[in-house]
A = this chain, B = another copy of it.
Amino acid sequence: MPAGARPRPPSLRLSGPYRHGGPHAAAHGAAPPARQASLRRHNLALVLREVAAGGPLSRAELSRRTGLTKASVSTMVDSLTSCGVLEELSSEGSPRPGPGRPGSPVGFGPTSPVAIGLEVAVGYTSACVVDLAGRCSRQSLLVLDNRALGPAAGMQRAARLVAELARSVRDQGRRLLGCGLAVPGVVGPSGELWWVPNMATWAGLHPAQVLDDLLQEHMGGAVLTGPGGLVADAGTPGDGLRALAVGNEANLGALAELWYGGHRHLEDFLRVSGEVGVGAGIVSGGRLLTGARGAAGELGHVNVEPEGLPCACGARGCLEQYAGQEAIVRQAGAPGYGQVLDMAARGEPSALLALEEAGRALGLAVAATLNVVDVPTVVLGGIYAELAPYIQAALARQLAERVVGGRFGPVRVVAAGVGREAAMRGAGGVVAHQVVADPAAHLPELLDRSA
Given A289-B284, A303-B367, A407:B373 Cβ within 8 A: no
Which one of A84-92, A163-171, A332-340, A398-406 is at the interface?
A: A398-406
Complex contacts, A188 vs chain B, CB 8 Å: 408
Residues of B within 8 A of A299 (CB): 371-372
Q: Does A301 contact B (CB under 8 A)?
A: yes
Point out the residues of chain B lying under 8 angstroms from A292, CB to CB. Answer: 268, 284-285, 374-376, 405
Chain B residues closer than 8 Å to A367, beta-carbon distance: 303
A255 at the interface (CB under 8 A from B): no
**Which residues of A, 361-384, contact B by the 8 Å Cβ criterion?**
364-365, 367-369, 371-376
Known: A302-B368, A306-B304, A368-B302. A374 touches B293 (CB 8 A): yes
Chain B CB within 10 A, most for which of A285, A296, A368:
A368
Restricting to A305-354, which residues have a CB under 8 Å from any CB of B? 305-306, 313-316, 318
Are B306 and A374 neighbours in the complex by a CB distance under 8 Å? no
CB of A9, distance to nearest CB on chain B (Å): 21
Report A299 CB to chain B, min CB distance, Å: 7
Complex Cα spacing A22 to B306, Å: 41
Contact, CB under 8 Å: B372 / A285: no
> B409 to A296, Cβ gap below 8 A?
no
A295 at the interface (CB under 8 A from B): yes
A368: chain B residues at CB < 8 Å are: 302-303, 365, 368-369, 372
Residues of B within 8 A of A52 (CB): none
Tell me if A282 counts as interface (CB < 8 A to partner B).
yes
B374, A404: Cβ atoms closer than 8 Å: no
> Are B302 and A371 within 8 A (Cβ)?
yes
Q: B371 and A401: CB pair below 8 A?
A: no
Would you call A407 and B296 a contact (CB within 8 A)? Answer: no
A46 at the interface (CB under 8 A from B): no
- The closest CB in chain B to the CB of A292 belongs to B268
Q: Which of B297, B373, B402 contacts A303 (CB 8 A)?
A: B402
Chain B residues closer than 8 Å to A195, beta-carbon distance: 404, 407-408
> How far apart sit A296 and B289, CA to CA, in the bound complex (Å)?
13
Task: Please tell me if A61 contacts chain B, counting CB pairs below 8 Å.
Answer: no
Per-residue CB proximity of A78-104 to B under 8 Å, as 1/0?
000000000000000000000000000
Whether B408 contacts A186 by the Cβ 8 Å rule is yes
Which chain B residue shows the least CB distance to A318? B402
Contact A373 B291 (CB under 8 A): yes
Q: In the docked arrangement, what's the CA distance between A37 and B404, Å?
A: 45
Say which residue of B294, B315, B409 sits within 8 Å of A374 (CB atoms): B294
Q: Are A376 and B303 in contact (CB under 8 A)?
A: no
Tell me the complex Cα distance, A188–B408, Å. Answer: 8
How far, in whole Å, are A404 and B291 apart by their CA atoms in the complex? Answer: 12
User: In the assembled complex, which residues on chain B have CB atoms less than 8 Å from the CB atom of A69?
Assistant: none
- Verify A314–B401 contact, CB threshold 8 A: yes
Instruction: Report how far A304 CA is from B307 CA in the complex, Å.
Output: 11
Contacts of A402 in B (CB 8 A): 301, 303, 315, 318
Q: Is A298 an interface residue (CB 8 A)?
A: yes
With A304-B306, A402-B301 as known contacts, state yes or no: A408 contacts B295, CB within 8 Å.
yes
A:250-287 near B, CB below 8 Å = 268, 280, 282, 284-285
Q: Please, could you name 21 A-B residue pairs with CB atoms under 8 Å apart, sorted by A?
A: A15-B285, A186-B404, A186-B408, A188-B408, A194-B407, A194-B408, A195-B404, A195-B407, A280-B372, A282-B372, A282-B373, A284-B292, A289-B289, A293-B408, A295-B374, A296-B373, A297-B374, A302-B372, A303-B368, A316-B401, A318-B402
Which 9 pairs from chain A and chain B are nearest by CB? A291-B374, A268-B292, A296-B374, A298-B371, A295-B374, A295-B405, A298-B404, A302-B368, A315-B402
Interface of A with B (CB < 8 Å)? 15, 186, 188, 194-195, 268, 280, 282, 284-285, 289-299, 301-306, 313-316, 318, 364-365, 367-369, 371-376, 401-402, 404-405, 407-409
